[in-house]
Amino acid sequence: MKIKAFLTAFLAVMTAWPAAAQSIAERIDSGFAAATSPFVNFIFANFPGTNFSWIVVWLVVGASVFTVYFGFIQFRAFGHSLALVSGKYSDPNDAGEVSHFQALATALSGTVGLGNIAGVAVAVSIGGAGATFWMILAGLLGMASKFTECTLAVKYRNEYEDGTVSGGPMYYMTKGFAERGLPLGGFMAIVFSIFCVLGSLGGGNMFQANQAAAQLRDTIGLPVWVTGLTLSIIVFVVIVGGIKSIARVTEKVVPFMGVGYVLISLLILIMNADMIGWAFGEIFRGAFTDTGIVGGLLGALIQGFRRAAFSNEAGVGSAAIAHSAVRTKEPITEGFVSLLEPFIDTVVICTMTALVIIITQQLTVDPVTGLYAITEEGRIAIASGATGGVPITSGAFGSVFSWAPYALSVAVVLFAFSTMISWSYYGLKAWTYMFGEGKTKEMAFKIMFCVFVFIGSVASLGAVIDFSDAAIFAMAVVNITALYLLMPIVKRELNSYLSRLKSGEIRKFE
C-alpha cells in the first residue's frame, strides 16, 4: 500500500511542524482572496445607484420568463413529473437503461449539499427569517429554468458509437444554435465550459471541502488540513484510481441522509408545533417589513434568491449534464422530471433548515425595538453564539438534540463528498469539451481537482464562499442567454408531447 505509507509519512511530518502547516494554510488563503477578488467583484456588482446585484436579477428574471413562457409548467406538470419518476410511462423493455429516477437521484446528490445546510444558515443570519420566503419563491420559479435546460440537454446530447453519452449546455449551445441558424454557439460553449471548470473547483469542490473541514474542526477538534488531506486522498482514489465502490456507497447513503435530515427537521418542528404559526409569521413579516437587517427589505430578498440559486443551481446548467444520460425517446420527459429537483432541494430541504433555525429561536431579537440584534459584522446575532454556515445550523439542531451536531457532521462530510464527486464529473466534461478527450488531459484535471480539495479546506470561508458563488453564477450568465434563444424549441417539444399525451398516443405501461 504505497498510498498508506505515503499518508503515514506525510502525517508524521505535518504533526511535527504544525506551525509550518498553519502558515502555509494562511499564505494559501490570502493569496486566494487576492487572486479571485476582481472576478468576484464583477459578478456581484450592483446596479449603479442601488444595492441590488445584477446577477440576482438576471437569475430571477430568467426563471420568471421561463415560468410565464411555458405557462406555469412547474405547477401544471407536477403530477405528470411524479408519474414519470415512478416509472409509470417507462417501457419495460428499456429496463437496464438509465431510468428517470436514477437521473434525478444522481443530479440531486450533486445539488443537495452544503448549500442546503450551510448556505441557508448564512442566508437567514444575514437576511433574517424573511429570506426564507424569497428562497422558496426563487425555488418555485427555478423549476421552470431547470425544465428548460434539462429538456435541451437530452435533445442535443451526443451519443457515441460505443453507447456512451455526453450532454449538457455545451452541446445545446453548439448544436441547438446551429439548428436555429444562430451565430456564436461554439464561442458560448467554450465560455460556459471555462466557468463550469471554475465552478466545479469552487462551489462544487472548495466550498464543500471548506465547510466539511470547519464542521469536523468545531465538533471533534480535527485540524482543517487533516480533513483537507484526507478528503483529497479519498477523492483522488475515487476519481483517479477508479475505485467506484466508495462512490457507489456514498451515492446510496446520501439519499437516506437527505431523507433522515428532513425527518429530524420535521421532528423538531412537531415538537415545537405551537411555534409553527409564529415561524411563518416571522417569515412573512421579514419578507415584507423592515426587521432591522442590513440592506433592509431588499437584503432579505437578495439573500433568499442568492441561496436558492446557489443551492438548486437552476439556470446554471450543471445538473443538465447529469440529466442528459437518461434513456428516453422524449427529451421533454426529462425536463418534467428535472423540475422536481429545485422543489426537493429548495422548497423542501432548504426550507427545513430555515424553519429549524427560526423555530429554535437562533435569530436574536432586540426586545425593546422588536428588530433583529445586529452584530458589528452586519449579521444577526445568533443565540448559540455560532458564526457562519454549518455551525449555526448545528447549533439550532443541537439546541433540541444534543447528539444532532455529530449526526450533522456525518451528513456534512457525506453531502460534501457526493457533491464533489458529481462536480468532478461536470468539470471534467467541460474540460474535455475544451481540450478534447484523452488520458493525460483528463488526469491533469482530476489531479488539479484533488489539489483544490485541499486548498478549499484550509482557505477562509469568506474568500471561498464568494468565489464559489461567483463562478457558478457566471455559468448562469452564459447558460440563461442560450436558454432564451433556444426556448422556442422546448415550446415546440412541449406542445407536441402534451397533445400526444392528451390524444392517448403516449400511454402508461401499467
Partner 1 sequence: MSRKIVVGFDGSEASRRALDFAVGRAKAQGDSIIIAHVLEWSPYSFLTPEELAERHKRRNEELERAEKAILQPVVKRVEDAGVPVTTVIKYGHIAETICQIATDEDAALIFIGRMGHSGLATRIFGSVAGTLAQVAPVPVTIVP
Residues near 175 by Cβ (< 8 Å), separated by ≥ 6?
A: 156, 185
CA distances from 95 to 87, 92, 269 (A): 10, 5, 40
CB 242 to partner 1: min, Å? 9
106 makes contact with partner 1 (CB under 8 A): yes
- Which one of the spans 91-99, 117-125, 225-233, 368-376 is the region binding partner 1 (CB under 8 A)? 91-99
Nearest to 129 by CA among 347, 278, 252: 278
Q: Taken in order 42, 43, 44, 45, is the CA torsion positive or negative? A: positive
Residue 44 lies near partner 1 (rule: CB under 8 A): no
Contact between 120 and 311 (Cβ < 8 Å): yes
Confirm or reject binding of residue 199 to partner 1 (CB under 8 A). no
Angle between helices 461-503 and 207-220 (to 10 degrees): 120
Distance between CA atoms of residues 354 and 308, nearest Å: 12
Residue of 25, 56, 65, 98 interacting with partner 1 (CB under 8 A)? 98
Under rule CB under 8 A, residue 426 binds partner 1: yes
Q: Which residues pair with 374 in a beta bridge?
A: 380
For partner 1, the closer of residues 166 and 364 by Cβ is 166
Total chain residues near partner 1 (CB under 8 A): 38
Outline where 360-460 has alpha helix (H).
390-398, 404-435, 439-458
Based on the shown chain and the rule CB under 8 A, indicate whether residue 425 belongs to the binding site for partner 1.
yes
> CA-CA distance, 123 to 394, in Å (whole number)?
15
Question: With binding defined as CB under 8 A, does residue 111 bind partner 1?
Answer: no
Compare residues 133 and 425 and give the one whose CB is closer to partner 1. 425
Which residues are within 8 A (CB) of 187 and not within 5 positions of it... i.e. 6 or more apart?
Answer: none
C-alpha cell at 289: 417589513
Site string for partner 1, 470-499 (x = CB under 8 A): ------------------------------
Residue closer to partner 1 by CB (options 66, 171) is 171
Instruction: Choose which of 38, 49, 96, 183 interacts with partner 1 (CB under 8 A).
Output: 96
Contacts (CB under 8 A) with partner 1, residues 238-297: 244, 247-248, 251-252, 254-255
Out of 1, 164, 221, 270, the residue judged to bind partner 1 by CB under 8 A: 164
Compute φ and ψ for 108, nearest 5 degrees: -65, -40
CB of 164 to partner 1, least distance (A): 5
Residues of span 319-338 touching partner 1 by CB under 8 A: 321-322, 325-327
Cell of 369: 425595538
Query: Closest separation between CB of residue 402 and partner 1, Å?
Result: 31
Q: Which is nearer to partner 1, 419 or 479 (CB)?
A: 419
Task: Identify the CA nearest to 501 among candidates 52, 51, 24, 79.
Answer: 79
**Using CA atoms, how far apart are residues 292 and 280, in angstroms rounded to an integer?**
18
Stretch that binds partner 1, among 94-102, 285-293, 332-340, 494-502 (CB under 8 A): 94-102
Measured between alpha carbons, how far is 365 from 273 in angstroms, rounded to an integer? 21
Q: Counting contacts by CB under 8 A, is residue 353 touching partner 1?
A: no
Q: In 3D, which of 137, 383, 393 has the Cα closest to residue 268?
A: 393
> 97 or 377: whose CB is closer to partner 1?
97
User: Which residues in this chain contact partner 1 in the complex, by CB under 8 A?
Assistant: 87, 90, 92, 95-103, 105-106, 109-110, 159, 162-166, 244, 247-248, 251-252, 254-255, 321-322, 325-327, 421-422, 425-426
